[in-house]
């Protein structure tokens, strides 16, 4: 029974760890993306509007 | 864009909950519904887990190969990200297959490892997928990395059937298919479906994350800002 | 390009590689020497009763052959990179498939020469004749070397342009050529003990591997070398 429990426990913790890691990475990436998009947005507001646009 | 994102997020959560429910069902089936095996006892229940993750790792390798071919034809970087995501989850499942197989081997035959054809093939697959990641990590340029690792993925995919054949023949010509109680077969099927759903969910999540990382990288390159 | 032109170009490329090796030997001497050293070390360590020797000498022979063979494969593209001829190679007015076949032929000849040197070496050191049935052995050797050279040429091309190669070739190649290693060893083993149906089955797998990888190589080599 111990072996069975170990197998399930290992699988479960592997999946949970991976999902947690994914979530954390996602959060960090989102923050970076928001910061970059804000910077790009700010840049575009300050750029003088060209005639072609 | 925001509405689209929240739809995708809700979708991901919904699927996640569905998968969790499937797991609850599978758990009950494996531990309660499935009959106790005559010779090995309760430890035999590992097989539902072992076969499911083995199947997922194979699916991951196949998905890696097919999406790699799609990348080479289409040159859309999204295909390369699918390939990487599928390979990663496939590798994770291969690791779990080896671990559960090893635990089972220890209980069943009192040895931590056996050169049994399926385990041998899985070990080779594990190493091949590891090599895929090593290759990826040695190439900086995004397009070159995608292209070269796609070729390797295709070589690996073409090789898998022959690896399976070779390892099967290596240990005698007749593979052993366990006789399964019909109830066991139902449990196995449920377990397979559950793990496949989990595999798909994780691959999609990882691919989305890679998409995000790619967008961050491209914006960083464009603006010159490093976050 | 007509078929005759392609054939001529193929022969010219093969001829170029062989001639270069002949004029300034870099690879073949080291490869042959490594093979001899491996044969010596292996035979020194293995102490088997006389009757078991035929079963295992095939395996030892092939291990030495493949391991030394990776040396030739490793260097098959590095020469071009080191001397700045890589761009030149890409500019040949011929399909990348032909370039692949030319490189494959050169590598195939290298590993065949290696085999030709190793067979008498092992026969001398172990006292077992590998050539009790020379015809079948030759067939096995040809298809095994062809498959090995095909996979090796592809992986070598993949890794040759990387900055930090560090043994990536061997790491990527060996799991992929497992069917060849197993096939060659098992086919030789069955041959030496006289079981021709076992020999034939494994030789068919070797042939299958060779066909798959030569074909695949011709198709995907262009993706590896494109800039």
Which three-class secondary structure state does DSSP give residue B75? Answer: coil
Residues B162, C205: C-beta atoms closer than 8 Å: yes
Q: What is the mean pLDDT of residues B12-39?
A: 83
Q: Do B151 and C176 touch (CB under 8 A)?
A: no
Cβ contact, residue pair B156, C176, below 8 Å: yes
Q: What is the pLDDT of residues C55-75, one digit of tens each?
A: 788 888 999 999 999 988 888
B43 and A39: CB-CB below 8 Å?
A: no
When divided into structural domains, chain C yields a total of: 1
CA closest to C164 among chain B residues: B138
Residues A7-25, mean pLDDT to the nearest whole number: 91
Residue B59: count of CB within 10 angstroms of its CB: 19
Q: For B205, which residue in chain A has the nearest alpha carbon?
A: A22
Is chain B touching chain C, with at least 3 CB–CB pairs below 8 Å? yes
Residue range B35-43: average pLDDT? 74
Neighbours of C185 (CB within 10 A): 21
- Tokens read off for B163: 């690896």
- Indicate the average pLDDT of chain C: 87
* Torsion angle in degrees (nearest 10) through CA of C143, B72, B210, B123: -10
pLDDT of residue C85: 73
**Min Cα–Cα distance to chain B from A31, Å:** 9
- Its domain, for residue C141, covers 3-225
DSSP string over B126-179: HHHHHHHHHHHHT--SHHHHHHHHHHHHHHHHHHHHHHHHHHHHHT-SSPPPPP
Residue in B16, B107, B128, B21 with CA at minimum distance from that of residue B65: B128
Average pLDDT over residues C131-144: 92
Count of CB pairs separated by less than 8 Å, A with B: 73
Whether the model pTM is above 0.95? no
Token couple for C53: 């020797």
Residues of A with CB under 8 A from a CB of B: 1, 3-4, 6-8, 10-11, 14-15, 18-19, 22, 25-26, 29-33, 35-37, 39-40, 43
B36 contacts B51 by C-beta, under 8 angstroms: no
Place B174 in a pLDDT band, splitting at 50, 70 and 90: very low
Q: Residue C176: its chain B contacts at CB < 8 A?
A: 128, 155-156, 159
pLDDT at B3: 62
Distance CA B25, CA B101 (A): 23
Contacting subunits of C (3+ beta carbon pairs below 8 A): B
State yes or no: pLDDT of B177 exceeds 70: no
Residue B23: the pLDDT is: 85
Res B223: pLDDT: 83
Backbone angles phi, psi at C96, to 5 degrees: -60, -25
Q: Which has more pLDDT, B44 or B122? A: B122
Q: Report the residue count for chain B.
A: 227
CB nearest B100 (choices: A7, A32, A36): A7
Dihedrals φ, ψ of B37, to 5°? -75, 145
Q: Taking Cα atoms as reference points, which of B97, B90, B102 lies closest to residue B58? A: B90
Measure the CA–CA gap between C27 and C152, rounded to whole angstroms: 15
B100 to chain A, minimum CA–CA distance in Å?
6
Report the distance separating Cα C106 and Cα C153, nearest Å.
Answer: 10
Interface of C with B in 192-221 (CB under 8 A): 201-202, 205, 208-209, 212-213, 216, 220
Instruction: Supply the pLDDT for residue C51.
Output: 65
When pLDDT is averaged across residues C117-122 and rounded to a whole number, the result is 90
Q: Which residues of C73-82 are buried (b: 16+ CB within 10 A; e: fewer)?
A: bbbbbbbbee
Residues of A in contact with B198 (CB under 8 A): 15
Domain ranges of chain A: 1-44
Mean pLDDT value across chain B:
88
More confident residue, B29 or C117: C117
pLDDT value at A49 more than 60: no
Q: B175 pLDDT exceeds 50?
A: no
* Cβ C28 vs Cβ C72: under 8 Å: yes
Q: What is the pLDDT of residues C146-170, one digit of tens each?
A: 999 999 999 999 998 787 676 888 8
How many Å apart are CA C225 and CA C227, to the nearest integer? 6
CA gap B55, B53 in Å, rounded = 5
Average of per-residue pLDDT across B7-12: 83
CA distance linking residue B101 with residue A17, whole number of Å:
21
H-only helix segments in C48-133: 53-82, 86-91, 96-126
Report the DSSP beta bridge partners of residue B41.
B37
Which residues in chain B have Cβ-Cβ distances shorter than 8 Å to A26?
208-209, 212
Q: What is the pLDDT of residue C185?
A: 93
What kind and span of H or E run contains C38? helix C28-45
- Does residue B10 carry a pLDDT above 90? no
pLDDT at C48: 65
pLDDT one-digit tens code per residue, C39-49: 888 887 776 66
Nearest C-alpha in C relative to B169: C202
Contacts of B159 in chain C (CB under 8 A): 176, 179, 212
| Partner residue facing B162 (CB), from C209, C224, C226 | C209
Binned at pLDDT 50, 70 and 90, residue B222 comes out as confident
**Residue among B124, B135, B154 minimizing CB distance to C175:** B124
Q: Do A7 and B49 touch (CB under 8 A)?
A: yes
Q: Is the pLDDT of residue B22 over 90?
A: no
């Amino acid at each position: 029974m111990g072996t069975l429990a170990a197998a399930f426990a290992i699988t479960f913790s592997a999946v949970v760890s991976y999902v947690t890691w994914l979530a954390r990475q996602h959060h960090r990436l989102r923050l970076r993306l928001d910061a970059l998009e804000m910077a790009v947005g700010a840049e575009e507001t300050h750029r003088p509007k060209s005639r072609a646009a | 864009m925001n509405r689209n994102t929240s739809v995708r997020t809700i979708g991901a959560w919904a699927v996640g909950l569905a998968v969790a429910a499937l797991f609850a069902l599978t758990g009950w089936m494996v531990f309660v519904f499935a009959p106790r095996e005559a010779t090995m006892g309760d430890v035999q229940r590992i097989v539902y887990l072992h076969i499911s993750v083995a199947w997922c790792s194979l699916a991951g390798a196949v998905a890696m190969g097919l999406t790699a071919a799609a990348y080479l034809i289409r040159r859309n970087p999204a295909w390369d990200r699918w390939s990487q995501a599928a390979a990663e989850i496939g590798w994770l499942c291969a690791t779990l297959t080896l671990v559960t197989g090893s635990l089972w081997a220890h209980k069943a035959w009192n040895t931590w490892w056996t050169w049994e054809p399926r385990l041998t093939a899985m070990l080779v697959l594990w190493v091949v997928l590891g090599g895929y990641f090593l290759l990826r990590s040695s190439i900086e340029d995004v397009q070159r990395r995608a292209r070269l690792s796609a070729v390797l993925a295709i070589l690996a995919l073409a090789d898998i059937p022959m690896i399976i054949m070779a390892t099967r023949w290596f240990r005698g010509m007749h593979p052993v298919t366990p006789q399964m109680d019909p109830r066991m077969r139902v449990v196995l099927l449920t377990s397979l479906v559950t793990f496949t759903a989990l595999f798909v969910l994780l691959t999609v999540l990882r691919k989305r994350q890679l998409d995000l990382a790619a967008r961050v990288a491209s914006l960083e390159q464009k603006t010159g800002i490093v976050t | 390009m007509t078929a005759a032109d392609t054939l001529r170009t193929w022969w010219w490329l093969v001829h170029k590689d062989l001639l270069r090796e002949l004029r300034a030997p870099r690879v073949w001497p080291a490869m042959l020497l490594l093979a001899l050293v491996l044969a010596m070390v292996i035979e020194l360590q293995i102490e088997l009763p006389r009757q078991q020797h035929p079963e295992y000498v095939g395996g030892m022979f092939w291990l030495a052959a493949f391991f030394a063979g990776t040396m030739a494969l490793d260097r098959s593209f590095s020469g071009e990179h080191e001397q700045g001829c890589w761009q030149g190679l890409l500019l040949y007015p011929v399909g990348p498939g032909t370039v692949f076949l030319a490189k494959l032929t050169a590598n195939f000849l290298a590993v065949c020469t290696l085999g030709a040197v190793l067979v008498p070496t092992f026969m001398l050191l172990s006292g077992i004749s590998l050539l009790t049935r020379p015809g079948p052995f030759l067939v096995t050797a040809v298809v095994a070397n062809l498959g090995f050279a095909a996979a090796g040429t592809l992986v070598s091309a993949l890794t040759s342009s990387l900055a930090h190669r560090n043994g990536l070739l061997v790491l990527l190649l060996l799991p992929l050529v497992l069917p060849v290693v197993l096939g060659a060893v098992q086919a030789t083993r069955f041959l030496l003990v006289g079981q021709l149906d076992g020999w034939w089955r494994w030789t068919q797998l070797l042939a299958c591997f060779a066909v798959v990888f030569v074909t695949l190589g011709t198709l995907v080599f262009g993706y590896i070398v494109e800039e």
